[in-house]
Structure 1
Amino acid sequence: MEKPQDKVKEPIVGYGHYSYADYLSWQLDEMVELIRGKVFRHAAAAPRRIHQEVSMILANRFYEFLKEKTCKVYPAPFDVRLPLASRRHEDIDTVVQPDLCVVCDPKKLDELGCVGAPDLIVEILSPGNNKKELQLKYEVYEASGVNEYWLVHPDERTLLIYTLEGGKYRPSRIFTFGDRVRSQALPGFELDLDEVFGEL
């Protein structure tokens, strides 16, 4: 007879190939992400204060702009499943928790989060970010059709925007103090970086 604990498979970082079905069975005290079947653990410590401040400022700006619009902004922790073909839990091997994501198609939302590419994703760098993880995220965001990928470096007070064109990301120049940035994924949205980085 199967015991309840038999259903819980403990993930091994860097080994094996796991699916979203496995992910749902884990009982962990920490956040993990699944990228192409590999497990990436978040740092055990809470994000730094500067990370949280940037996240709150950006989330507020998006929220205010998106009021009464179809698009919605979601902060982490929020599961984003990126299926390649099938939407079955057993077939999905990438589940990420971006710092912020904006989803404009309500059909992509369910009680578990988002299934399919958000229109815009924001990742805020911190000392614990794994370079391999960041590279893999770039690749899966591009392959799954995330229209805009924002990479914020709070220590350096910079923002880099990748815009999807013809299936490939085109990087912006590096934005910083004095710049106002616009989103192609969210027409009409503008962000004054002095208001973001000046508050830190």
Structure 2
Amino acid sequence: MKSEKNDHVKEPDIEYGLYTYADYLTWEMDEMVELIKGKIFKRDIAAPALNHQRISMHLSNKFYNFLRGKTCQVFHAPFDVRLPVKSRKNQDIDTVVQPDICVVCDPAKLDAAGCLGAPDLVVEILSPGNNKRELKNKYEVYEEAGVREYWVIHPNEQTLLIYSLVEGRYQASRFFVPGDEVTSACLPSFFLDLEEIFEE
């Protein structure tokens, strides 16, 4: 999973350990993990549910088609997003996440390892095992890092909530539901019909 291999890597302590991106690069783990403020969070072991996959594909395609020929680019998991605070050095970065979908408009943030710095827009699609991580932990790190828009999609309830960064703090939209038309402050003229995203 990681780009560097090490036969003498100590298994990380998921319960109590605090780690950095430099540690993350040395791990050989069978499952996807994220690092949030130094703590390890396992991604769901099971493959995403069918609705999750459908929504992810629909929305990724909408972003991709809209962004063709533009500076902004869309990426989907697995794709490492490193969110530096103190410095951009691997040993100082303690948050590495893999959003379901993200849009990056500054090419300077992209490198061979993924994205270094805050994407402009992040989409997380909830599943039973990750609601707490998305709604609390990731909310905090996305806000602190300066992610301009954070979209949270609940497949079962068929809702979309958009957090927009205003003077360094997130402001929540109302819940959008099928039949609503959604736009993005990050992507002028982007238009999304939620009926298409949630269709069976």
- TM-score interval, smaller chain: over 0.9
Partner of 2:7: 5
Q: Distance in 2 between matches of 1:37 and 1:130?
A: 19
SS at match of 2:7: helix
Instruction: Check conservation: 1:177, 1:193, Cα contact below 8 A.
Output: yes
Q: TM-score, normalization: structure 1?
A: 0.95
RMSD: 1.0
Q: TM-score, normalization: structure 2?
A: 0.95
Instruction: Check conservation: 1:9, 1:22, Cα contact below 8 A.
Output: no
Instruction: Check conservation: 2:159, 2:175, Cα contact below 8 A.
Output: yes
Measure how far apart 1:85 and its partner are.
Answer: 2.4
Instruction: Check conservation: 2:84, 2:94, Cα contact below 8 A.
Output: yes
Instruction: Check conservation: 1:74, 1:102, Cα contact below 8 A.
Output: yes
Q: Distance in 2 between matches of 1:187 and 1:115?
A: 24
Partner of 2:3: none
Q: Distance in 1 between matches of 2:111 and 2:197?
A: 31
Q: Distance in 2 between matches of 1:161 and 1:73?
A: 17
Alignment partner of 1:36 is 2:34? no
Kindly provide the CA deviation profile for residues 149-175 of structure 1, in whole angstroms up to 9, marking residues without a partner as x.
Answer: 000001001000000000000000000
Measure how far apart 1:77 and its partner are.
Answer: 0.1
Instruction: Give structure 2 stretches of 5+ with no counterpart.
Output: 1-5
SS at match of 1:195: helix
Give aligned pairs, total.
195
Partner of 2:108: 107
Instruction: Give structure 1 stretches of 5+ with no counterpart.
Output: none
| CA 100–132 in structure 1, closer or farther in 2 if over 3 Å, else same | closer
SS at match of 2:160: strand
Instruction: Check conservation: 1:84, 1:92, Cα contact below 8 A.
Output: yes
Q: Distance in 1 between matches of 2:102 and 2:61?
A: 12
- Map 1:1-200 to 2 at 5 A: 4-6=6-8, 8-132=9-133, 134-197=135-198, 199-200=199-200
Q: Distance in 1 between matches of 2:20 and 2:127?
A: 27
Kindly provide the CA deviation profile for residues 83-133 of structure 1, in whole angstroms up to 9, marking residues without a partner as x.
Answer: 002000000000000000000000000000000000000000011115145
Runs of 4+ off more than 3 Å: none
SS at match of 1:90: helix
Q: Distance in 2 between matches of 1:130 and 1:9?
A: 29
